[in-house]
A and B are shown apart, each in its own frame.
Chain A
Amino acid sequence: DVKVTQSSRYLVKRTGEKVFLECVQDMDHENMFWYRQDPGLGLRLIYFSYDVKMKEKGDIPEGYSVSREKKERFSLILESASTNQTSMYLCASRSNRVLGNIQYFGAGTRLSVL
């Protein structure tokens, strides 16, 4: 089974802090994604990565950056956390060697910024 692990289930941070959300997958997937989930808005794509050291902006990249130094790990960085970044963050991974766009998700990190 594919396993996507997000390092924290819950995080509480203060406004202005630099925040790192970590995601690791164990299936040698090329593609990795970070989403933000808010009630009534579904999942919105923040950033994605086609492969190591490659990244591309999604629909709502403002206020976020990402890092992918190793294939299995994709980090989401909030350079200076703000209260409007309080949300559920979901990481996903996908193989581009398999037909279709099946993404496999981690359990999510619920971030509160005070």
Chain B
Amino acid sequence: AQSVTQPDIHITVSEGASLELRCNYSYGATPYLFWYVQSPGQGLQLLLKYFSGDTLVQGIKGFEAEFKRSQSSFNLRKPSVHWSDAAEYFCAVGARNQGGKLIFGQGTELSVKP
């Protein structure tokens, strides 16, 4: 069955520290891969996406993610976290032939300590 797993429900990092949020997926073929961010009380905003090509993708707000086919992973990273990065982060996958549907992970809530 197709699924997306974000193993960490909640992560706390200090401001200025580096960040890595994990995402693993189970899919029949190489999917489209996404990271979205949700600030409190808001909808989801796209951070970055992977369709094909270079496996290291850059996104907005200084985030990047690396697609590792052998590990079925698409981890999100940021070298130095800012207090405004506190939010919930969702990994999502979609098939190239399934009409735009996405499967979302459970989400990882990020807290930032001053």
A residues apposed to B, CB below 8 Å: 4, 9, 31, 33, 35, 40-45, 48, 50, 56, 58, 90, 92, 94, 96, 99-108
Contacts and interface: CB of A to CB of B under 8 A. Distances in A.
Contacts of A106: 43
Contacts of B42: 107-108
Given A31-B99, A50-B99, A103-B100, A42 B44 contact: no
A103 B43 CA distance: 11
Interface of B: 4, 6, 9, 32, 34, 36, 41-46, 49, 51, 90, 92, 94, 99-102, 104-107
A40 B93 CA distance: 18
Contact of A101 (B45, B102, B106): B102
Nearest to B4: A42
A101 to B, nearest CB: 4
A105 B45 contact: yes
14 contacts: A31-B100, A40-B9, A42-B4, A42-B6, A42-B104, A42-B107, A43-B44, A43-B90, A44-B104, A48-B101, A90-B43, A102-B46, A103-B100, A105-B43
A42 B99 contact: no
Complex A-B, nearest 8 residue pairs according to Cβ-Cβ distance, in ascending order:
A101-B94, A105-B43, A43-B104, A105-B44, A42-B104, A42-B106, A107-B43, A94-B100
A40 B106 contact: yes
Nearest to B99: A50
Given A101-B32, A105-B43, A45 B106 contact: no
A103 B102 contact: yes
A4 B42 CA distance: 12
Given A31-B99, A94-B100, A42 B43 contact: no
B51 to A, nearest CB: 5
Given A43-B92, A48-B99, 13 more contacts: A4-B43, A31-B99, A35-B104, A40-B107, A42-B107, A43-B90, A45-B102, A94-B100, A96-B99, A100-B49, A101-B102, A105-B36, A107-B42
A73 B42 CA distance: 20
